[in-house]
Amino acid sequence: MQVKDIMCTDVKTCKEDTPIKDIATMMCFHKFSGLPVVDDDNNVIGIISEKDILSSMFPDMKEIIESGAKADFEEMENDYTGVLDKTVGDLMTKAVASVPADMPILRAASTMWLRKFRRIPVTDNNKLVGIISLGDVHQSVFQNSLLSNKS
């Protein structure tokens, strides 16, 4: 089975100039953990994730350890409003991994596993055509297993 057989083609995306406040709202209310960032031609130029947003609140831990200072995590939490004033381009991950639609699903899953991703964009010449998650792969393999056992 190939990625194109199970990928989701109705993908929510955002642009580089989208305010983080809009993305955080979408993530919190619609339970998205991340979105592909595309340009006007639908080329994937990045990924914005909850991890990107939250990690922007953390201090440089190496700096804190070397200086002997203590991290005030409660104060960092109060600084969240400053994060909301940023744009996707400020926080997104620019080095984007993707998979082609004709890749076998277990190979795509191994790519996600190796990179510690839960989902990955599906592209054709860097144009976004879909997205696939580990859950999609698992569900497909499970369903095929059930069908095989009925035969």
Read off the pLDDT of each residue in 128-146 and give the average, rounded to a whole number.
92
Render pLDDT for 58-70 as a digit per residue (tens, 0 to 9): 666 666 666 666 6
Let me know: does 105 contact 7? Beta carbons within 8 Å: no
Of residues 113 and 64, the one with the higher pLDDT is 113
Query: What residues pair up with 127 in beta bridges, in sequence order?
Result: 43, 124
What structural domains does the chain harbor? 3-150 (3.10.580.10)
* Percent residues over pLDDT 70 in the chain: 83
What is the rounded CA–CA span in Å between residue 15 and residue 17?
Answer: 5
Mean per-residue pLDDT of the chain: 88
Cα-flanking dihedrals φ and ψ of residue 145, to 5°? Answer: -65, -40
Q: What's the pTM value of the predicted model, to 2 decimals? A: 0.82
Let me know: does 120 contact 44? Beta carbons within 8 Å: no
